[in-house]
Amino acid sequence: MLGQRVYCQHCGGGFRATDETLEEDEGAVRAMEQIQEDRIEMLLERATEAIGNSLKSEQSQEEDIAQETA
In a domain, 10, yes or no: no
| Domain ranges, residue 58 | 25-70
Neighbour count for residue 22 (Cβ, 10 Å) = 15
What pLDDT score was predicted for residue 1? Answer: 61
In a domain, 13, yes or no: no
What pLDDT score was predicted for residue 21? Answer: 65
Could you tell me if 48 and 54 are in contact, meaning their C-beta atoms sit under 8 angstroms apart? no
What pLDDT score was predicted for residue 41? Answer: 93
In a domain, 37, yes or no: yes
pTM higher than the cut 0.75 = no
In a domain, 43, yes or no: yes
The predicted-structure confidence for 10-67, as pLDDT tens digits, reads as follows 887 887 777 766 666 677 677 778 888 999 999 999 999 999 988 888 887 777 777 7
- Specify the number of domains making up the chain: 1
Tell me, rounded to whole angstroms, the distance of Cα 35 from its chain centroid. Answer: 12
